């Protein structure tokens, strides 16, 4: 039976691709083999919420939808693992785990539309990255179809599994260029008893010292986000709360654990901050916390004309933010400060020439700090002339070799990564 073609998909203003909706592994494998034989490309997608990430396709071909692959395959919650099909939405996964009092402790934006497979392909994370890590730390099993339509499995459904090569980690952040993910297994954890946020305003000179104070704290936050005033207003609006707005920067410190542990950590940090150069220290607990987590997580998707994701060693973060803020006061900035990651969003009226200047300046700064720059969002036409991945590092040669080895026909998402 041939998989139905019901619509088309357009990626970055390229020619529309016919969408196939295979309902079995055999159907999906047949589409892959047909495309390979015809010299076409395969463009897998789930919710389609991250199609703007990556470069323009370089081959005509077909789009393979995984949205219909949205079932929970196995959930022995007493074993703290869950196996799901790759097309399941992040919201479905969260609701399934919540019903059993568990969660995947990684912040995944766009939960309504975005798929779990898409989150892996784009290596999504959020503010909890500091204390909880990323999807790489929780993925323990994967199934995917290779360029011959063969089903390949890596890892397993148990936490202590060291069999075979760690193929599953190669798919994280690969933008779907190594195969079509069909099924994934995560280890999960009990939902924490309690959550809390401490929020404070700081002036420009106090950013570095305040971050140093938090790093030295006896408390152990799972998130330390630094927002400039423009970003703080966006987060406050989305969360429906009041955040400090008298200073140019806002620090948001998140905790979650057993109730007694959270209480102790909040009390400890409050005492430590009594002599710190902060203002308007505010505490949020209980139901107020979830909207804040959600707003911080989804900030990276806020509407803008041009956005970048930067990463530098945390020790270089304060100086980078000071430079960026001084040269571009109109930019909204959120930083996962403990990890050195910055989401920078520029207004819609930024021209391509201005974007090139900004990108070149930040590329130089991050290169000096051994960091990275990714052009997250911009008009599609810009991607043909702007350096999408920023500084070229030796790791890119290794990634190209992996692509050429696992997909020598350049079948999957051709041109989207390189």
pLDDT digits (tens, 9 = 90+) for 20-78: 999 999 999 999 999 999 999 999 999 998 898 889 999 999 999 999 999 999 999 99
In sign, the C-alpha dihedral spanning 218, 222, 224, 230 is negative
Confidence band, pLDDT 50/70/90 cuts, at residue 160: low
Provide the CATH number for the domain formed by 72-190 in this structure.
Answer: 3.30.465.10
Q: What is the pairing mode between strands 72-74 and 61-65?
A: unpaired
Tokens 């290596």, residue located: 123
Q: Are strands 341-346 and 41-45 parallel, antiparallel or unpaired?
A: unpaired
DSSP string, 79-143: GTEEEEETTSBHHHHHHHHHHTTEE--S--S-TTT-BHHHHHHTT---TTHHHH--GGGTEEEEE
Residue 13 has pLDDT above 90, yes or no: no
CA 374 to centroid of chain Cα atoms: 12
Residues 105-153: pLDDT tens digits?
Answer: 999 999 899 999 999 999 999 999 999 999 999 999 999 999 999 999 9
DSSP 8-state symbol, 48: -
Contact present, 127 and 223 (Cβ < 8 Å): yes
> Mean per-residue pLDDT for 404-415?
94
Which residues fall within 8 angstroms of residue 375, CB to CB, at 6 or more apart?
Answer: 308, 359, 382, 383, 386, 387, 388, 389, 390
> What is residue 399's predicted lDDT score, i.e. its pLDDT?
87
CATH entry 3.30.70.2190 includes domain 194-298: yes
Q: Are 312 and 320 in contact (CB under 8 A)?
A: yes
Distance CA 209, CA 109 (A): 30
- Residue range 303-389, CATH number: 3.30.70
């Amino acid at each position: 039976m041939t998989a139905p073609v019901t619509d088309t998909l357009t990626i970055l203003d390229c020619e529309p691709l016919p969408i196939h909706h295979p309902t079995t592994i055999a159907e999906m494998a047949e589409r892959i083999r047909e495309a390979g034989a015809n010299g076409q490309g395969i463009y897998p997608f789930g919710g389609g919420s991250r199609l703007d990430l990556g470069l323009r396709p370089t081959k005509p071909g077909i789009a393979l939808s995984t949205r219909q692959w949205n079932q929970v395959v196995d959930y022995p919650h007493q074993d703290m693992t869950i196996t799901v099909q790759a097309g399941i939405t992040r919201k479905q996964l969260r609701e399934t785990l919540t019903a059993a009092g568990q969660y995947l402790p990684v912040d995944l934006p766009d939960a309504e539309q975005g798929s779990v497979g898409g989150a892996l392909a784009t290596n999504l994370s959020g503010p909890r990255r500091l204390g909880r890590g990323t999807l790489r730390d929780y993925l323990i099993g994967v199934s995917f179809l290779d360029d011959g339509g063969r089903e390949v499995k890596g890892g397993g459904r148990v936490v202590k599994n060291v069999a075979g090569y760690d193929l599953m980690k190669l798919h994280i952040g690969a933008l779907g260029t190594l195969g079509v993910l069909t099924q994934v297994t995560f280890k999960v954890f009990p939902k924490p008893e309690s959550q809390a946020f401490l929020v404070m305003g700081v002036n420009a000179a106090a950013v570095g010292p305040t971050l140093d104070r938090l790093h030295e704290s006896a408390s152990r936050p799972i998130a330390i986000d630094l927002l400039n005033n423009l970003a703080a207003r966006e987060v406050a609006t989305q969360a429906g709360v009041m955040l400090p707005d008298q200073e140019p920067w806002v620090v948001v410190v998140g905790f979650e654990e057993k109730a007694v542990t959270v209480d102790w950590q909040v009390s400890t940090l409050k005492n430590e901050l009594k002599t710190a150069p902060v203002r308007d220290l505010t505490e949020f607990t209980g139901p107020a916390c979830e909207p804040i987590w959600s707003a911080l997580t989804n900030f990276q998707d806020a509407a803008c004309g041009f956005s970048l994701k930067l990463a530098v060693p945390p020790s270089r973060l304060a100086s980078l933010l000071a430079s960026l803020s001084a040269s571009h006061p109109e930019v909204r900035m959120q930083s996962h400060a403990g990890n050195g990651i910055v989401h920078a969003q520029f207004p819609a009226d930024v021209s391509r020439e201005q974007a090139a200047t900004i990108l070149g300046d930040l590329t130089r700064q991050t290169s000096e700090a051994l960091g990275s720059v990714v052009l997250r969002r911009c008009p599609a036409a810009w991607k043909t002339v702007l350096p999408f991945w920023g500084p070229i590092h030796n790791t890119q040669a290794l990634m190209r070799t992996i692509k050429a080895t696992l997909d020598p026909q350049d079948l999957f998402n051709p041109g989207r990564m390189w």
